């Protein structure tokens, strides 16, 4: 029986050799090829004339051969054939490699159709190795040919031929799985039509219909799968119910501050989860400085009181150590053993720590990625917390969870992202939001200042330092190279020394080893260093409440999210804090960004604006997120479609809260399948 999951080897025209090439493209089955969408299309639009051509245009035009072919051999043994073609607006060269036989077909004065990409040859525009039709050239306006990504040994022509075969033969075999009623309401074409027209569109209009359906489909299946995962976790993963609350209230009242209402509300949500046997899977989103750490610590405490272990994973060593110090200082007095596990631990102390984790003597383990290495074994892990989750993939989170018997999972993120995106990035999690800053925080005063007025900013820094406060100076990322960044930081320090002779200046950059970084951070915390000059390594989580002023150089180069994160290093105490955004030059977008930063400190508003302003992929550092690897959809470009999908999913959930999808068996089985090979995130 024919099956879409059959190997591509079955397809006529694909032998073992081509199969191996397709495997290199990650295409194994017929279904893979059906979903191997063109990366572009050549649109045969006869209205395009030679004078309209620009570099990189992919076009198909009818032209007249204007010169004879000239062929020559290069010393490397290549044959280059060249001829000129023209229309009534101009002429352009055609260059062909290693197909000298073509010169027999090219006849002066003939009309031919040239299809391909316009490139820049030696100075002028030309076609290099285009497709050429000599006889019976098609004259239709708007004939659309797909362009596929190729790999060595598989040419465009190869793939085109195979795809033609695949689509003709199999596209109609794919069973529709989006229910008719939903398709009708969402105006989605059927799957066969969509596959046919995404590969070989019969018109632009049909291409658009096909694309819309397939984008909708991709979001829809992912969103449903994530929701289903969430339901699955809720219903089947039995974790530990951590019921005992002894000592929690007195711990909370011993804190030097009162928890905000928002923190209390989220603690309630977390406690409710922890007290049930269903494993918690919760994301806490809270703006920088909203006080997520203490919430995490209280959750850890609850876990220990119930005789279980807790783990706390942070993305960087600096952050792990900072958390360790805070957690240890708060929990040690309660006779709780806290361990710190990072990559740099000496072998002997590491072995000892691992032993103590294994036998349960260490109750809370704080660490970096080192926590998810195989040799870390817990006695009874019941709660896993990851900080700044956007830096971790779902997979890493899962590995950590697997170290216990379905431990409760809490992820914390300071990147407030709009709900629409949160639903697709963290759709498998329940979401809690801390939407309130601790009392007494003053709004950080932010000003964009042109580079020429740098010294005025230095004066402001001096004023703060004279009051006993501390400052950050953030140097721009010059290059992707840490060595060059380090150099720019060093130069900056030299410059600052002249203006701040009285003050101690420290350096922090990615090229330093972690012992060096720690030492600097410790001295900064102890107010032995007054100005910390750094690259963006200080971006995540660092908490020194006495620093009240931050200067960010070349702020126009940073994205909103990064600026927001960096700015969050100040304003963490009760004093008025300041942020200066120094710019050299501004374009329209960077000007808008700087203005938004001046106007608001609310991370959610900033993230909404970020979504509007930035190009795809740059948003809030989630580029690394595996989830962005969509086949056709794009969470930034297609946000409207994503919203429609989410509304639709909500409707389905209303009717079918457990998402059994019994009403829609075909859809149900596609989702089940997807969950089995979940590689979307
Ligand atoms: P983030 O949410 O960015 O991780 P932190 O947890 O680092 O923020 O908290 C920022 C600072 O606010 C810390 O110095 C912390 O001790 C303090 N803090 C937390 N909660 C409160 C509160 N309710 N009142 C006053 N200060 C608080
Ligand atoms: Mg934090």
What tens digit of pLDDT does each residue of 362-402 get? 999 999 878 877 788 999 999 989 886 654 555 555 666 67
Ligand 1 contact, 413 CB (< 6 A): no
Q: What are phi and psi of 365, to 5 degrees?
A: -115, 125
Ligand 1 contact, 285 CB (< 6 A): no
Whole-number pLDDT of residue 399: 66
Structure tokens of 1?
């029986």
Structure tokens of 230?
């969430």
Residue 76's Cα: distance from chain center in Å?
A: 44
Pairing of strands 578-583, 445-450: parallel
Ligand 1 contact, 257 CB (< 6 A): yes
Ligand 1 atom having least distance to the Cα of 543: 7
169 three-class SS: helix
The yes-or-no answer to whether 42-147 and 248-434 have a common fold is no
Whole-number pLDDT of residue 656: 93
First to last CA, the chain: 32
Structure tokens of 479?
């290059």
pTM for the model: 0.69
Q: Any idea what DSSP says for residue 129?
A: S
Q: Any idea what DSSP says for residue 631?
A: S
Token pair 């006889």 in the structure block, residue: 135
Q: How far is CA 220 from CA 186, 223, 281, 449, 671, in A?
A: 12, 5, 22, 45, 10
Token pair 């979001």 in the structure block, residue: 219
10 three-class SS: helix
Ligand 1 contact, 436 CB (< 6 A): no
- Give dist(CA 620, CA 102) in Å, integer: 52
Whole-number pLDDT of residue 679: 46
Structure tokens of 130?
């285009």
Whole-number pLDDT of residue 368: 86
Residue 445's Cα: distance from chain center in Å?
A: 30
Whole-number pLDDT of residue 622: 47
Ligand 1 contact, 263 CB (< 6 A): yes
Distance from residue 215's CA to the centre of ligand 2 (Å): 35
Q: Looking at domain 42-147, which CATH architecture does it have?
A: Beta Barrel (2.40)
Q: How far is CA 471 from CA 26, 545, 546, 547, in A?
A: 50, 11, 9, 5
* Pocket probe mutation, ligand 1, options 321, 438, 441, 521, max atoms within 8 Å of Cβ: 438
Which CATH number describes the domain made up of 445-600? 3.40.50.300
Q: Any idea what DSSP says for residue 626?
A: G
The full length of the chain comes to 681
User: What sign does the dihedral 40-45-50-53 (CA atoms) show?
Assistant: negative
- Give dist(CA 259, CA 293) in Å, integer: 12
b/e per residue, 74-103, with b = 16+ CB within 10 A? eeeeebebbbbbebeeeebbbbbeeeeebb
Structure tokens of 112?
């031919």
Token pair 């820049």 in the structure block, residue: 120
Q: How far is CA 373 from CA 348, 360, 403, in A?
A: 17, 18, 10
Ligand 1 contact, 97 CB (< 6 A): no
Q: How far is CA 457 from CA 338, 586, 665, in A?
A: 42, 19, 65
Residue spans of the chain under pLDDT 70: 1-2, 45-46, 136-142, 232-238, 388-401, 477-487, 539-541, 614-629, 677-681
Distance from residue 544's CA to the centre of ligand 1 (Å): 10
Distance from residue 289's CA to the centre of ligand 2 (Å): 7
Distance from residue 319's CA to the centre of ligand 1 (Å): 14
The CATH T-level fold of domain 248-434 is Rossmann fold (3.40.50)
Residue of 484, 616, 602 whose CA lies nearest to 559: 616
Ligand 1 contact, 289 CB (< 6 A): yes
Residue 130's Cα: distance from chain center in Å?
A: 36
Q: So where are the chain's domains?
A: 1-39+150-164, 42-147, 248-434, 445-600
Token pair 């989006």 in the structure block, residue: 178
Structure tokens of 549?
């002023």
Whole-number pLDDT of residue 198: 97
User: For the segment 46-68, what is each residue's pLDDT rounded down to a tens digit?
Assistant: 678 899 899 888 888 889 999 99
Question: Which residues lie closer than 8 Å to 451 by C-beta, 6 or more apart?
Answer: 582, 583, 584
């Amino acid at each position: 029986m024919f099956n879409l999951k059959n190997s591509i080897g079955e397809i006529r025209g694909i032998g073992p050799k081509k199969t191996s090439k397709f495997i290199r493209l990650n295409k194994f089955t017929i279904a893979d090829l059906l979903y191997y969408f063109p990366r572009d299309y050549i649109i045969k639009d006869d209205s395009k004339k030679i004078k309209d051509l620009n570099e990189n245009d992919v076009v198909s035009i009818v032209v007249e051969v204007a010169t004879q072919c000239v062929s020559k051999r290069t010393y490397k043994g290549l044959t280059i054939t060249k001829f000129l073609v023209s229309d009534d607006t101009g002429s352009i060269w055609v260059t062909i490699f290693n197909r000298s036989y073509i010169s027999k077909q090219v006849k002066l004065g003939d009309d031919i159709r040239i299809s391909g990409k316009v490139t820049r040859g030696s100075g002028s525009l030309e076609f290099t190795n285009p497709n050429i039709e000599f006889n019976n050239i098609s004259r239709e306006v708007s004939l659309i040919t797909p362009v596929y990504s190729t790999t060595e040994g598989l040419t465009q022509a190869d793939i085109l031929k195979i795809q033609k075969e695949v689509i003709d033969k199999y596209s109609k075999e794919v069973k529709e799985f989006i229910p008719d009623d939903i398709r009708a309401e969402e105006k989605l074409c059927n799957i066969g039509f969509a596959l046919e027209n995404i590969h070989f569109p019969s018109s632009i209009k049909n291409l658009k219909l096909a694309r819309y359906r397939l984008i909708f489909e991709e979001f829809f299946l992912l969103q449903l799968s994530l929701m289903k995962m969430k339901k699955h976790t809720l219903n089947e993963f039995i974790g530990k119910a951590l019921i005992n609350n002894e000592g929690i209230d007195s711990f909370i009242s011993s804190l030097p501050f009162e928890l905000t209402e928002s923190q209390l509300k989220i603690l309630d949500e977390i406690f409710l989860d922890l007290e049930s046997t269903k494993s918690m899977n919760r994301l806490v989103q809270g703006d920088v400085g909203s006080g997520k750490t203490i919430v995490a610590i209280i959750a850890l405490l609850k876990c220990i009181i119930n005789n279980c272990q807790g783990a706390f994973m942070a993305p960087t060593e600096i952050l792990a150590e900072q958390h360790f110090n805070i957690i240890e200082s708060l929990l040690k007095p309660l006779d709780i053993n806290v361990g710190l596990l990072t990559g740099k631990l000496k072998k002997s102390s590491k072995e000892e720590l691992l032993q103590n984790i294994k036998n349960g003597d260490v109750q809370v383990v704080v660490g970096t990625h080192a926590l998810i290495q195989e040799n870390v074994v817990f006695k009874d892990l019941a709660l896993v917390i990851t900080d700044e989750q956007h830096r971790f993939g779902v997979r890493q989170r899962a590995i950590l969870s697997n170290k216990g018997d379905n431990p409760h999972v809490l992820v914390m993120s300071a990147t407030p992202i709009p709900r629409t995106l949160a639903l697709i990035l963290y759709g498998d999690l329940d979401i809690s939001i801390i939407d309130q800053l601790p009392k007494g925080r003053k709004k950080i005063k932010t000003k964009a200042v042109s580079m020429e007025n740098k010294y005025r900013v230095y004066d402001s820094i001096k004023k703060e330092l004279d009051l006993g406060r501390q400052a950050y100076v953030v140097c721009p990322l010059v290059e992707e190279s840490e060595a060059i960044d380090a150099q720019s930081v060093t130069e900056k320090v030299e410059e600052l020394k002249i203006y701040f002779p009285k003050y101690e200046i420290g350096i922090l950059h990615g090229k330093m080893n972690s012992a060096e970084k720690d030492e600097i951070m410790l001295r900064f915390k102890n107010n032995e260093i007054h100005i910390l000059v750094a690259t963006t390594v200080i971006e995540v989580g660092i908490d020194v409440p006495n620093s009240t002023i931050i200067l960010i150089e070349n702020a126009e180069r940073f994205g909103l999210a990064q600026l927001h994160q960096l700015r969050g290093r100040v304003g963490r105490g009760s004093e008025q804090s300041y942020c200066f955004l120094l710019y050299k030059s501004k374009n329209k977008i960077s000007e808008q960004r700087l203005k938004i930063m001046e106007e608001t400190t609310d991370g959610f508003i900033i993230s909404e604006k970020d979504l509007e302003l930035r190009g795809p992929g740059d948003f809030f550092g989630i580029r690394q997120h595996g989830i962005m690897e969509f086949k056709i959809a794009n969470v930034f470009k297609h946000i409207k479609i994503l919203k429609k999908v989410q509304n639709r999913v909500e409707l389905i959930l209303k009717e079918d809260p457990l998402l059994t999808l019994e009403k829609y068996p075909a859809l149900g089985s596609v989702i089940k399948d997807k969950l089995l090979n979940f590689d979307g995130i």
